[in-house]
């Protein structure tokens, strides 16, 4: 079976290279921008000058590395963490609680259930329509048990962001065998990745889910290296938690399954096979388990809600272009509530028919199809802010922002524009050097396959699913270790040249 594993990895490698090269080239040419209001309309710009900013950013990163070279990894990490804490305190003190949209519906449902009000679980209620949010409702209930002040969610978000950066750094340490220089560059890049910082104000499942997912990746890699059962158990639990908090992280669980199965084929390691099965079954069954728990607690039967096919029907509808191609347009909600009268099975049948119609239209109109999916990919993968600021106190909600700097940031003015240019340059560096890493660093390819497979899964999934640039940030973030390795190689070459 070893030969099959080798062929599978080679095929996977070339698909990953094609995918990351495509996203890199699109980012070199195009930039997308989401309107800072509830319309969420996406604009597109041709900005090849982004390459110049990327070069400047590369110089900044190199300068930061040399400036911090004498300090230890721990010192650098702690210093950046203190800086993040200071920024978070500033933001929390100057921004009124701004939980809105789905995050608000989830929070309201959590409060109602904790107070014995189960209306959200009954017909017409939010959780009746979206039962997949029960995991996030549980998370909010736990936080509100700790502290009734909703700002606790922002504090926990910061803690989880620091953990994400920590596990990203530790994954780099595992892949590159304790390469101190690479580790330092990873830490610098992680903390420069400002969208993640701005997501502090987003009280939803993205940050906690990604925190659990990247921690699961770390323990999976540790398990493959050391074969400890404790690592296997922790990784399985974390994968399930990630999927419970945000269904999109099922992509990460599938990536873990594939890597463990390849490990089984190569080494005949049956513990890897067992762990792969446990993880995939656990994540797939987690929704039913959560539903059963709530049925027991509330006495209200869990509904199936909007079927997954309705989201695919929406994401592949060539007529759905109001915000951006394939973005949320309420059609799945209308299909379930109006066309199917809250009947999940009927809504599934309607959605399947819609998907077939979408496919037929796509085949009959190849030019229109290429334009639709091309713009959809650009809208999600070439939007440098990843809707991190849009997810905060959006101007249409009239949230009170005291600070002039934060007003400029959250209204899409000068501060936001500077941040957007900065992040675009950073993301271009991450994509370019990650692409180079996949092409030539074969000695570390196998250990980094999990991260890149997660990235590939994100691209494939969101081509067909609902579009939203918010969703794509974790897939770009996990490319940082490979990028850092190539940066370190360049710095070492410069060092040799100037000796």
Quick one: which of 253, 232, 230 has its CA closest to 241? Answer: 253
Half-sphere exposure of 204 (CA within 13 A, CB side): 22
Percentage above 90 pLDDT, the chain: 58
pLDDT value for 399: 60
pLDDT value for 397: 46
Is pLDDT of 460 > 50?
Answer: yes
pLDDT value for 476: 96
Residue 16 CA, distance from chain mean position? 18
Rounded Cα distance between 449 and 455, Å, is 10
Is pLDDT of 395 > 70?
Answer: no
Is pLDDT of 140 > 60?
Answer: yes
Rounded Cα distance between 406 and 397, Å, is 15
CA distances from 90 to 76, 85, 86, 393 (A): 21, 9, 6, 15
Q: What is the DSSP letter of 88?
A: H
Residue 216 CA, distance from chain mean position? 14
Tokens 């991260």 — which residue? 451
pLDDT value for 231: 93
Quick one: which of 208, 207, 131, 173 has its CA closest to 473? Answer: 207
In this structure, what token pair is assigned to residue 233? 């158990």
* Start-to-end Cα distance in the chain: 49
- Ranked by mean pLDDT, the top range of 2-6, 63-67, 95-99 is 63-67
pLDDT, tens digit (0-9, with 9 covering 90-100), for 184-242 = 999 999 999 999 999 998 888 899 999 999 999 999 999 998 889 999 999 999 999 99
User: Which of these ranges, 121-135, 287-301, 338-352, 398-412, has the smallest mean pLDDT?
Assistant: 398-412
Alpha-carbon Rg for the chain in angstroms: 23
Rounded Cα distance between 448 and 469, Å, is 24
pLDDT, tens digit (0-9, with 9 covering 90-100), for 325-379 = 999 888 888 998 888 888 899 999 999 999 999 999 999 999 999 999 999 999 9
pLDDT value for 302: 84
3-state class (DSSP) for residue 34:
strand
- Res. 141 pLDDT band, cuts 50 70 90: very high
Query: Which contiguous run of DSSP H or E holds residue 23?
Result: helix 2-29
Half-sphere exposure of 475 (CA within 13 A, CB side): 29
Summarize the confidence of residues 300-320 as an average pLDDT: 90
pLDDT value for 30: 93
- Look over the chain and give the mean of its residue pLDDT values, rounded to a whole number: 90
Rounded Cα distance between 27 and 190, Å, is 19
Q: What is the pTM of this model?
A: 0.94
């Amino acid at each position: 079976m070893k030969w099959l594993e080798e062929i599978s990895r080679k095929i996977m490698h070339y698909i990953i290279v094609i995918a990351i090269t495509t996203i890199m080239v699109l980012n070199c040419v195009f930039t997308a921008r989401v309107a800072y209001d509830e319309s969420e309309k996406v604009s597109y710009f041709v900005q090849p000058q982004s390459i110049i900013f990327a070069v400047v950013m590369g110089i900044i990163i190199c300068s930061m590395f040399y400036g911090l070279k004498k300090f230890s990894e721990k010192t650098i990490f702690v210093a950046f963490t203190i800086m993040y804490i200071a920024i978070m305190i500033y933001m929390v003190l100057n921004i009124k609680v701004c939980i809105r949209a789905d995050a608000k519906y989830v929070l309201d449902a959590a409060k109602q259930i904790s107070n014995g009000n189960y209306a959200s679980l009954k017909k017409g209620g939010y959780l009746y329509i979206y039962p997949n949010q029960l995991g996030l409702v549980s998370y909010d209930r736990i936080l509100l048990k700790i502290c009734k002040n909703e700002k606790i969610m922002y504090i926990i978000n910061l803690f989880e962001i620091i953990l994400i950066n920590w596990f990203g750094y530790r994954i780099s340490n595992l892949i590159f065998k304790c390469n101190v220089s690479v580790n330092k560059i990873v830490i610098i890049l992680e903390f420069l990745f400002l969208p993640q910082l701005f997501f502090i104000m987003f009280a939803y499942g993205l940050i906690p889910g990604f925190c659990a997912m990247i921690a699961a990746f770390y323990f999976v890699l540790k398990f493959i290296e050391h074969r400890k059962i404790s690592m296997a158990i922790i990784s399985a639990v974390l994968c399930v938690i990630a999927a419970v908090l945000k269904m999109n992280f099922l992509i990460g669980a599938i990536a873990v399954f594939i890597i463990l199965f390849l490990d089984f084929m190569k080494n005949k390691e049956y513990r890897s096979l067992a762990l792969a099965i446990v993880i995939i079954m656990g994540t797939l069954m987690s929704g039913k388990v959560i539903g059963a728990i709530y049925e027991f607690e509330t006495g209200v039967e869990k509904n199936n809600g909007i079927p997954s096919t309705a989201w695919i029907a929406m994401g592949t509808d060539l007529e759905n272009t109001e915000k951006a191609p394939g973005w949320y347009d309420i059609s799945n909600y209308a299909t379930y509530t109006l066309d199917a009268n809250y009947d999940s099975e009927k809504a599934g049948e309607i959605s399947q028919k819609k998907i077939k119609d979408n496919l037929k239209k796509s085949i009959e109109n190849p030019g229109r199809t290429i334009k639709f999916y091309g713009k959809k990919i650009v809208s999600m993968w070439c939007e440098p802010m990843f809707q991190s600021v849009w997810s905060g106190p959006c101007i249409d909600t009239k949230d009170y922002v005291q600070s002039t700097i934060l007003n400029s940031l959250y209204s899409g003015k000068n501060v936001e524009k500077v941040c957007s240019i900065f992040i675009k340059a950073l993301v271009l560096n991450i994509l370019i050097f990650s692409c180079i890493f996949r092409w030539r660093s074969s000695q570390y390819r196998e250990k980094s396959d999990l991260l890149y497979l997660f990235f590939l899964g994100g691209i494939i999934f969101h081509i067909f699913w609902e579009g939203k640039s918010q969703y794509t940030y974790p897939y770009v973030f996990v490319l940082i270790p490979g990028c850092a390795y190539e940066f370190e190689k360049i710095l070492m070459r410069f060092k040799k040249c100037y000796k």
